[in-house]
Structure 1
């Protein structure tokens, strides 16, 4: 008996995820908690562990497919279970199997090709299609490479079943009833399926109602005159696909007029499709389309929510960080001796926390439902990080309680995991303030979008050598630009300027951080 495993909620409030990569294959033995798949949520790429010990029976989703939480994505044969045993615990039909095997070692059966473990070779989407169409995939001949069962094989099997059922229902009556007029209401179209009539609650079709050209009859046999068959060949038409409601001796019969109408309808449909494609691609020749989902879509949605919700205002300023540059350079060797790379960011985070402590309204959130401004007691600073998947914001918790080297080490680990897309969702939650360093790519000023529901975000520009007046003399100094965006519902411009002044004072004289 197979164990069905549903996609779990791998993050707070998530409703769907993308299957990035399967780590197992059907027939592979797995142990409990062994990673079986990598899925991308709207926050990060995470591994999904196996819930049981057993053997992978079936993968029910393809790589790249978006799957809703709660959907069965994989099934397992739990250790000790077996589909090949009967109620007595003995292999079912063993004698029959042995006899068949000894008759002809090179003989083939009607069953789909299987691997050494007795499993059918088919993609998850093909298996899903088989389930939807009610087809036993184990009984389908595979036409793909290595005997793999394709979707076309499944559809053909489903159509064959429909044809058999339809033929049984459409068989001409025996005896005197055989002379019943063909226009009787019980006579069905050769291309109308039994399941369609069941859905409609019975057939209301009249002899004047013709199936559309798009409806493929897919009959196994069609009667037609030689001239009609020649016309079909010249027109490139599959005679068995031509809709008809005429019959001869209980078999579908196609006329030349029907072949001509079907060929013209196909030509018109192809022309319409070509025109539609031309309309959509006329001005986009050579364009590349990238799926807008996962982390990229989440970033877009949150940025849009922030701009819709928050009235942004941005305050710009410059700060002389010449002494900061000197101190950081002096401490770098000592930090490297402790296997730590000391950048400017730990100094900035400590200066930011000092500013937040003096100006608590910058470390706040607006609770609109309660109509309250919540001054956060924690100092958890998010660090915006550029990754291949888009901008992610790992959060360094409790910055006020950590030293420069501890902050540097934690930042390095978080940023590395974010760029490798292995960061846990909880490592990007709980932030109270965010810092973004666009200066790393050469920018000076910007208008950062607030990481809602936070109330502010500080942007760092590039540190550049600029002329400054010191003791009435023009001298070169290292200058850092700051761009602070605020939620103007919560923070006034004067408070924003005062916060920037406090942060600047700590960056101009980093030794003040020793007092924090």
Structure 2
């Protein structure tokens, strides 16, 4: 048997380091060739790292959240044959680890034979061979993914009483199954009472996509002097037209939502306000205006906010636009969006859908200079021609980079969008 060290591969596009987001294996696991070992994150996307060989996991190269350089040792396997680590190199590492352990703590020690593990299935009703520890060590904080924490809450399980078998004691779904199978009981009154006392706390490090979001939002607010402009839009005619188009064309073209119509209005308004379709390199002091409209569509996923890019939105009719938005949103939510689909936007639309509230103050997608925020529409009584009538109204809450966009230009830009949306036939006139 030999040892095989798998190093962090070069993902391309000049990426020098990545963040380790999640391990898919643990020491003692047997892995097959091409099996996914870990998820890592670049500046824009999550990438799965497969195993080039089959073997048994001996050592992991770090905990989730650590930033690893390309070429660093990711994981070590025991394999049939000589492996890619020579016997001499193994002996040198072993001698260094034994002779001066404190001075060579960064050297990976020779792999030890892992202790046997016992898989526990949720469908097994008999007690497992080795039940997990009943209580964590004093002061130990339970660590688990958002999905595990939510499931534990739904089951009424207090995580501090569940032994975590994952890296760094991370609690997995299998650990929850084992806790229940071994006789652990949901906390009393978990599902029946909303007044029971709750205790404890969770320390949740920002890793993966959530860390990237935090860094990007901080960078945007730190570097960009935002100002926001809010305008009320009467979308009564727009909604009536949208319903008619869906009745006529939904069977062969698909249904239209408000978003592709708004995207078309933004594209048309940008013809007269090209300074909004731009990116500002404040280090170089250069504003770049773009003729194509690469429209960022802020999309909420289970892991956080992504901004897939609708490329060449100026060339898409509302139905093609709707289809591409749906495709990008699904790719983002499933984690399959590529780097080119998550970068390069020139202006962004942010919408919270029915949760849009009356107004928002959206954060600009740095290094862009403008973002259009869509709020929910409501039907309210308004005066029209001396009579009180019901109209469907919606606010656009938009933010701009005041270093390169003047307040008057921003107001005129939003007014141009308003006119197009309130006279929706103009969206289809060239």
TM over 0.5: yes
What residue is the counterpart of 1:331 in the other structure? 245
User: Residue 20 of structure 2 contacts residue 40 of structure 2 at CA under 8 Å; is this kept in 1?
Assistant: yes
SS at match of 1:413: helix
Equivalent in the alignment of 1:342: 256
Asked if residue 48 in structure 1 is aligned to residue 49 in structure 2, the reply is: yes
Q: Which residue in 1 is equivalent to 2:86?
A: none
Alignment of 1:444 onto 2:358: yes
Question: Is structure 2 residue 5 aligned with structure 1 residue 4?
Answer: yes
Alpha-carbon shift at residue 298 of structure 1 (Å): 1.5
- Residue 307 of structure 2 is aligned with which of 390, 393, 404? 393
1:425 is aligned to 2:315: no
Aligned to 1:20: 22
Which residue matches 1:60?
60
Offset at residue 133 of structure 1 (A): 7.3
1:202-258 CA distance string (max 9 Å, x none)? xxxxxxxxxxxxxxxxxxxxxxxxxxxxxxxxxxxxxxxxxxxxxxxxxxxxxxxxx
Larger proportion of helix = 1
Taking structure 2 as the reference length, the TM-score comes to 0.68
2:32 to 23, 29, 36: 29
Contact 1:2–1:57 (8 Å) recurs in 2: no
Rounded Cα–Cα distance in structure 2 between residues aligned with 1:16 and 1:488: 33
In the alignment, structure 1 segments of 5+ residues that lack a partner are 84-128, 147-283
- Tell me, in whole angstroms, the C-alpha distance in 1 between the residues paired with 2:331 and 2:262: 21
More deviation in 417-426 or 323-332?
Answer: 417-426
SS at match of 1:422: coil
In 2: Cα distance, 1:28 partner to 1:447 partner: 48
Residues 20-62 of structure 1 deviation map (CA, whole Å, 9 limit, x = unaligned)? 242698544315xx64433344534332234x46556645346
Structure 1 segment 269-284 matched on structure 2, within 5 A: none
Aligned to 1:502: 416
Q: How far, CA to CA, are the matches of 1:56 and 1:427 in structure 2? A: 36
Q: Map 1:61-460 onto structure 2 (within 5 A).
A: 61=61, 64=64, 66-70=66-70, 71-75=72-76, 81-82=81-82, 132=107, 134-135=109-110, 137-138=112-113, 286-338=200-252, 340-460=254-374
CA RMSD of aligned residues (A): 3.1
The answer (yes or no) to whether the contact 1:5–1:73 under 8 Å persists in 2 is yes
- Identify the residue that residue 237 of structure 1 maps to in structure 2: none
Decide whether aligned partners of structure 1 residues 499 and 133 sit closer, same or farther in structure 2, where only a CA change above 3 A counts. closer
Alpha-carbon offset, residue 340 of structure 1: 2.8
Provide the C-alpha distance between the structure 1 equivalents of 2:59 and 2:249, rounded to a whole number of angstroms. 49
Q: How many residues align?
A: 328
Whole-angstrom distance in 2 between the partners of 1:426 and 1:58: 35
In the alignment, which residue of structure 1 is the partner of 2:147? none
The whole-number CA distance in structure 1 between the counterparts of 2:208 and 2:117 is 33
Cα separation, 2, equivalents of 1:453 and 1:133: 41
Aligned to 2:175: none
Structure 2's unaligned 5+ residue stretches are 84-103, 119-197
**What is the deviation of 1:10?**
4.0
* Whole-angstrom distance in 1 between the partners of 2:337 and 2:387: 50
Greater percentage in strand: 2
Q: Distance in 1 between matches of 2:407 and 2:358?
A: 21
After TM superposition, give the deviation of residue 394 of structure 1 in Å.
1.0
List per-residue Cα deviations over 1:167-207 (Å, max 9, x = no partner): xxxxxxxxxxxxxxxxxxxxxxxxxxxxxxxxxxxxxxxxx
Q: Which has the higher contact order (CA 8 A, sep 6+)?
A: 2
Question: Does structure 2 conserve the Cα–Cα contact (< 8 Å) formed by 1:43 and 1:294?
Answer: no
The whole-number CA distance in structure 1 between the counterparts of 2:11 and 2:347 is 25
For 1:307 and 1:133, the matched residues in 2 are separated by 41
**Contact kept in structure 1, 2:267 and 2:314, CA below 8 Å:** yes
TM superposition shift of 1:319: 1.1
